[in-house]
Amino acid sequence: MKQLYPAILIILIMSHCNTKVEESDDRIIAPKVVTQKAKYDTDDPAIWFNEENPGESLVLGTDKDEDGALMVYDLSGNIIEEKTIRGLKRPNNVDLRTVRMDNERVSIAVVTERLTDKVRIYTVPDMLPADNGGIDVFIGEEDRAPMGIALYNRPNDGALFMIVGRKTGPAEGYLWQYRLEKESNGHFSATKVRAFGKYSGKKEIEAIAVDDELGYVYYSDEQVGVRKYYADPEKGNEELALFATKGFTDDHEGISIYKKENGKGYILVSDQQANQFHIFTREGQAENPHQHVLLKTIKVAAMESDGSEVINANLGPMFPNGLFVVMSTDKTFHFYDWTDIAGDLAEGI
């Protein structure tokens, strides 16, 4: 059941939307922007960084329904209707990368379409299809409907991969990884390169995030914790870590990676039913490179967040220190200033 805020709390939160709140254990961080409402059920966002004009960067977000959409918002939270893709069959999760292909930089968004057992691919920012009608996934499996998705751009050779999860699957090999290649007609094809990843069987695996620079993939095994593997299929299928196993109310959900220099930064994990995020170190410890320490827990105004995304970049006057986007069950996405999220962790930005 979706939680509803008392009216007085909503008034209090929104009256402080443009005010930096004081650091405290119990504070509820207010967003700078709440987007226009989607039609059905928002789920997962991605951020496109406009390198030429950062203030015109875009936020993409899924709206889940059999007549769903891949929404496109400007940084003021307005729906850009001419870019929004409608008529998708229950789009679930979305991810985005800007990569070099054919001697040019190209941005693509991938979105899972659950009712067709496909992944859809669009070029950004023009939002044109680049998949010949969709890429079939989990071929030969009884349960095929895809949910979570993340892209991986391998640094050493520029190879592009997508890692896809589904509603349910086996205890081993729950995630499938595909190599994406651009064909002569400009559309992408996909070749499966491995199945990997443990699954507890308790609920599902939806949130997936990849750290390209460090070469790791993280995913939320809901009600268990966050699992960590190598993103490069050539490095094997060993589980490197299981963390975030304590302190969550119920479901582990969206994972976002805030990147700083020299491999440092933060991993943010949604504690869905508590309306909060746990922030862990991106880097491991000297004695264990895969030990991610909990630094703090922050409460947000967004309700029961499934998906989130974060970027460490100057996006113009509204978000000069970075942007954290969080899905909320009231059919919106909330845009947070990174300094409000990080508090004392933001020192040295």
**35-67 tens-digit pLDDT:** 999 999 999 999 999 999 999 999 999 999 999
CA dist 281 and 216 (Å) reads 14
**247-261 tens-digit pLDDT:** 898 788 889 999 999
Per-residue tens of pLDDT for the chain, all 349 residues: 444 444 444 444 444 443 333 333 478 999 999 999 999 999 999 999 999 999 999 999 999 999 999 999 999 999 999 999 999 999 999 999 999 988 889 999 999 999 999 999 999 999 999 999 999 999 999 999 999 999 999 999 999 999 999 989 999 999 999 999 999 898 999 999 999 999 999 998 999 999 999 999 999 999 999 999 999 999 999 999 999 999 898 788 889 999 999 999 999 999 987 899 999 999 999 899 999 999 999 999 988 888 999 999 999 999 999 999 999 999 999 999 999 999 888 664 4
Quick check: bond before 125 cis, omega within 30?
A: yes
**CA-only gyration radius of the chain, Å:** 19
Instruction: Specify whether the CB–CB gap between 49 and 58 falls below 8 A.
Output: no
Say what the pTM is: 0.91
CA dist 107 and 130 (Å) reads 11
Tokens of 78: 């307005």
Q: Where do the domains of the chain lie, and which CATH numbers do they carry?
A: 7-342 (2.120.10.30)
CA dist 94 and 112 (Å) reads 7
Q: How many CA atoms lie within 13 A of 6 on its CB side?
A: 3
Q: Which residues pair with 180 in a beta bridge?
A: 160, 190
**194-248 tens-digit pLDDT:** 999 999 999 989 999 999 999 999 999 999 999 999 999 999 999 999 999 998 9
